[in-house]
Structure 1
């Protein structure tokens, strides 16, 4: 009954989320190349990384992280009691011992700790995709465990088509959005704030957004109350904005 109007359900996917692990403890077991990539991802997300691995199993990058005290290091093999710490919110294993990895997975399930067992998709609560990073911009491509190399190829193709200054533009939009929340802090203004920011993102080019400075932001915010959006040129020339209607039917919404 009218079902053709709605998106068709496609099972077999994952719920892709931006998992906030800032200041949270994550346990990494293993110190090889895969662990190095996992550790870097966690440090980029401001997680508190605890690493368990014998010192002779550390690769050069992981040894560097340990030497710089970027991780809390335990020079030993994993023991079940290592999961007794209630502060652990996530476990990542990257060891070349299938039986030991499966045992860790089972222990995590008993303690209801989210876990990822490297290269064993059935024993993962979540997957690591291929990520493109440009300042505040992060784009993840996931193949749901079917082909990590393909995810990397797709991610590179997407990144190649992005403007080189996309990250800078998004950072400026984020700064403007924070200032707008100070200008219009009330919760009931939320819908208007979102719509006005959408107008800015559609009307201003990436180059304009990158060029925008603090003074431009302050002047632009003066047009929030009358719900107008002048161009960067109009702001700098002191001209009034053209009458321009926005109904949300085109363009992209800015929700950074």
Structure 2
């Protein structure tokens, strides 16, 4: 008899959106792989320190240093570099040194990624598509990074051109809604109402939604209705709530 619950498929990773804003990330190495890692963590607003002799930096990493986007320690790695670090990204062509760095990270309980050595990684980097606030990651759990890149491009090619802008407008509306209905007990209703907006409005309509449209639309939150964009702009939608918000 088939179970009504999802079947467990072992061997996967827990894919999360890791918030590392203002966290201290240590990148060991200054080559092409390090350059890619640096872009990833800078996009997440991390504070980045690179440990590598300046002579070993490729052009892109050198640019990040010169632009003061990252701090450079112009020398080889030392254990003291791990003090105060939240994450370590190791990208050096020295397997023995990489293993020693990973062991030190484990002792200090610092999450680490050792490039191209899956068994010595607490997490993997996937292939990411970015469109404004929208991020889509494809991971092969270390089996085939190039294949992940191919799958990511195929997925990106199927997305509407305006999906990123639509996500951004929905985010603004959601923040406004939290101000209108801040109470914790309103959480389920907020989620249900926002779901209705996303389901009933097209991506084009979400992109076109102005600040004025949002303010008008929020008037329909209390009765729990979602009028069309045209109705919002014409002020003809049924169920409008004209009184003060007393949540």
Q: TM-score, normalised to structure 2's length?
A: 0.95
**Structure 2 gaps, min length 5:** 240-247
Cα displacement (A) at 1:3: 6.3
Q: Please give the secondary structure, in 2, of the residue aligned with 1:139.
A: strand
The one of 160, 164, 167 equivalent to 1:170 is 167
Structure 1 pair 54/182, CA: closer, same or farther in 2 (3 Å)?
same
RMSD: 1.0
Structure 1 segments, 4+ long, off by >2 Å, are none
Matched, 1:198 2:179: no
Q: Please give the secondary structure, in 2, of the residue aligned with 1:176.
A: helix
**Structure 1 residue aligned with 2:118:** 121
Cα displacement (A) at 1:142: 0.2
**Structure 1 residue aligned with 2:25:** 26
Matched, 1:37 2:23: no
**Structure 1 residue aligned with 2:100:** 103
Q: Equivalents in 2 of 1:201, 1:80: separation in Å?
A: 50
Q: Please give the secondary structure, in 1, of the residue aligned with 2:136.
A: strand
**Structure 2 residue aligned with 1:187:** 184
Matched, 1:213 2:210: yes
Q: Equivalents in 1 of 2:126, 2:91: separation in Å?
A: 16
Contact 1:172-1:212 within 8 A present in 2 as well:
yes
Q: Please give the secondary structure, in 2, of the residue aligned with 1:26.
A: strand
Aligned residues: 239
Q: Equivalents in 2 of 1:240, 1:106: separation in Å?
A: 63
**Structure 2 residue aligned with 1:234:** 231
**Structure 1 gaps, min length 5:** 243-256
Q: Equivalents in 2 of 1:80, 1:3: separation in Å?
A: 53
Q: Deviations over 1:145-195 (max 9, x none)?
A: 000000000000000000010000000000000000000011110000000
Give the stretch that moved more between structures: 228-237 or 143-152. Answer: 228-237
Contact 1:231-1:241 within 8 A present in 2 as well:
no
**Structure 2 residue aligned with 1:141:** 138
Q: Equivalents in 2 of 1:106, 1:59: separation in Å?
A: 27
Contact 1:53-1:76 within 8 A present in 2 as well:
yes
Q: Equivalents in 1 of 2:111, 2:20: separation in Å?
A: 12
The one of 129, 134, 137 equivalent to 1:132 is 129
Q: TM-score, normalised to structure 1's length?
A: 0.92
Matched, 1:10 2:9: yes
**Structure 2 residue aligned with 1:250:** none
